[in-house]
Amino acid sequence: MTPEKLATEQIGENHQNNFYNYINRNRIFNTNKQSIIVNLSIDYIIITIKQKYYNSNEFNRLFNMINGISTSTKFRHTNGDEWNEIRRNIIKFNNKTHKVISLRASGVPYLPIIIKIYQPDVTLLNHMNSYLNKMEHLVSNVEFTMDFIGEEPDHIYKFMKEHLLLMWPGKKLYKPNYETSFYGNNLREATGKGSRCYQKYIKDVDDNVLKSIRVELLMKRRMFHNKEINTISDFMSMDNMIPLKYLSFKQFNFNKFHNKLIDEVGFYKIMVNDVFESFTNKIKNGDLDLLNDLAKTYYKKGSLSYLQQHDFNKYFKGLVDGKVFINGDFIVVDGGKMVCTV
């Protein structure tokens, strides 16, 4: 194994070691089979710097610092018209390993320099900010992550697929939906935010393989602009509940829909049962938001919604309140509250 590959693998171990130390210390799985550990973290942050700072004293100090704490550095120059200078650094800071990728378009002066930092923590960002605050920079993209780990991962994933929604997803774009992953919208084409959920296998400190269910929320520059979050300093003081504002656990209100079909549309009971069976299959396939639109076609008066908040929504967000993604905080969730509709 090359030194760079070894260092890259160590990046994922930063949060994993903290996580498993937490589990062993609290003996979560030994006391309650329904207990689920949720690890909050940031997978990466993208920062842009105006290219006018390239080769400035401020810029050189930043990259001299990065190179000074690097255990591995690779540079590649391509013939592309845009970002054609790519630098990859594996850095060691505060006994943790991180990957930093920087991109520059040498022939296009109006394009910014991009710096992508993987699995940043508070100490690293504060250190980087002491260099970045000397230059005009913007927080561009941040991926917030939540890893759910418990003894019944298939049930966790089923619950997520049937009840997790991205709020205000934008245009009705194509949403990829697979057996082991699904998306809240079209992550690539969305201009403000996007989400996805997928099954992920990780190893603990004893090399035991565990299946986790990861939920990711990607906030893009447009969202940060709307929230007046521009610099690293702004980001570090951001309300931690902002990302969770865009994720919600919902359920379809079958009673409300039943009453509309019987009382106001004039369906017979056997007809309602046929509709419910087809709707149940759509929920299992993760089409809850599309199902709501379909239900509205049966009764078109007013702006009716058949989705209601799942009890887990308020419970979960209450536990997360006060925790911090950038700190890699953990919470313990009662899996018994993850009640599936179908």
pLDDT digits (tens, 9 = 90+) for 185-210: 988 888 999 999 999 988 776 777 88
Encoded amino acid at 213, one letter: I
Query: DSSP code of 246?
Result: T
DSSP helix/strand/coil, 123: helix
Confidence of residue 8 (pLDDT cuts 50, 70, 90): very low
Instruction: Report which of 130, 135, 41, 141 is spatially closest to residue 101, judged by C-alpha positions.
Output: 141
Q: Taking 60 as the threshold, does the pLDDT of residue 10 lie above it?
A: no
- 251 closest CA partner among 160, 158, 162, 157: 162
CA-to-CA distance for 146 and 41, rounded, in angstroms?
6
Helix 269-284 crosses helix 153-163 at what angle (to 10 degrees)? 120
State phi, psi for 298 to the nearest 5 degrees: -80, -25
Please state whether 311 falls in left (phi above 0), alpha (psi between -120 and 50) or beta. Answer: alpha
What integer best gives the mean pLDDT of the chain? Answer: 86
The residue behind tokens 């171990």 is: 13
Q: Are residues 23 and 75 in the same domain?
A: yes
Of all residues in the chain, what percent carry a pLDDT higher than 70? Answer: 85
Provide DSSP, 57-70: HHHHHHHHHHHHTE
Residues 7 and 152 in one domain: yes
Residue 91 lies in a domain: yes
Note whether 129 and 80 are same-domain residues: yes
Does residue 260 share a domain with residue 218? Answer: no
Quick check: is 87 in a domain?
yes
Question: For residue 264, what pLDDT is reported?
Answer: 66
100 lies in the same domain as 117: yes
Residue 182 lies in a domain: yes
Please state the rounded mean pLDDT for residues 143-168: 94
Say if residue 232 is in the same domain as residue 103. Answer: yes
Q: Decide: 114 and 167 in contact? Cβ < 8 Å.
A: no
Name the residue among 242, 254, 333, 245 with its Cα closest to residue 288.
Answer: 254
Does 207 share its domain with 315? yes
Residue 162 within a domain:
yes
Answer yes or no: is 342 within a domain: no
| Arithmetic mean of pLDDT, 9-25 | 49
Query: What number is the average pLDDT over the span 169-188?
Result: 83
**Packing angle of the helix pair 57-68, 122-132 (nearest 10 deg):** 150
Q: What pLDDT band is residue 30 in, cutting at 50, 70 and 90?
A: very low
Whether residues 203 and 277 share a domain: the answer is: no
Please state, in angstroms and rounded to a whole number, the distance separating the CA atoms of residues 231 and 249. Answer: 31
Tell me which residue range forms the domain holding 47.
3-249+311-337
> Does the residue 295 lie in any domain?
yes
Residue 109 lies in a domain: yes
The number of C-alpha atoms within 13 Å of 114 and in the hemisphere containing its C-beta is 20
At residue 126 the predicted structure's pLDDT band, cuts being 50, 70 and 90, is very high
Q: Are residues 105 and 136 in the same domain?
A: yes
**CB neighbour list of residue 244: distance below 8 Å, 6 or more residues apart:** 317, 320
Per the structure block, which two tokens stand in for 199?
């099954």
User: pTM of the full predicted structure?
Assistant: 0.87
Q: Are residues 278 and 181 in the same domain?
A: no
Which residue has 């610099």 as its token pair? 231
Average pLDDT for 3-26:
48
Q: How many domains does the chain have?
A: 2
At 245, the pLDDT band (50, 70, 90 cuts) reads: very high
**Band of pLDDT at residue 12, cut at 50, 70 and 90:** low
Q: Does 144 reside within a domain?
A: yes
Among the listed ranges 20-34, 203-217, 311-325, which one has the minimum average pLDDT value?
20-34
Whether 50 and 164 share a structural domain: yes
CB neighbours of residue 150 within 10 Å: 24
Mean pLDDT throughout 293-309? 78
**282 and 148 belong to one structural domain:** no
pLDDT digits (tens, 9 = 90+) for 55-89: 999 999 999 999 999 999 999 988 876 888 999 99
What is the reported pLDDT for 67?
Answer: 96
Q: Tell me: the pLDDT tens digits for 96-109?
A: 999 999 999 988 88
Residue 31 binned pLDDT confidence (cut-offs 50, 70, 90): very low
Tokens matching residue 71? 């255990």
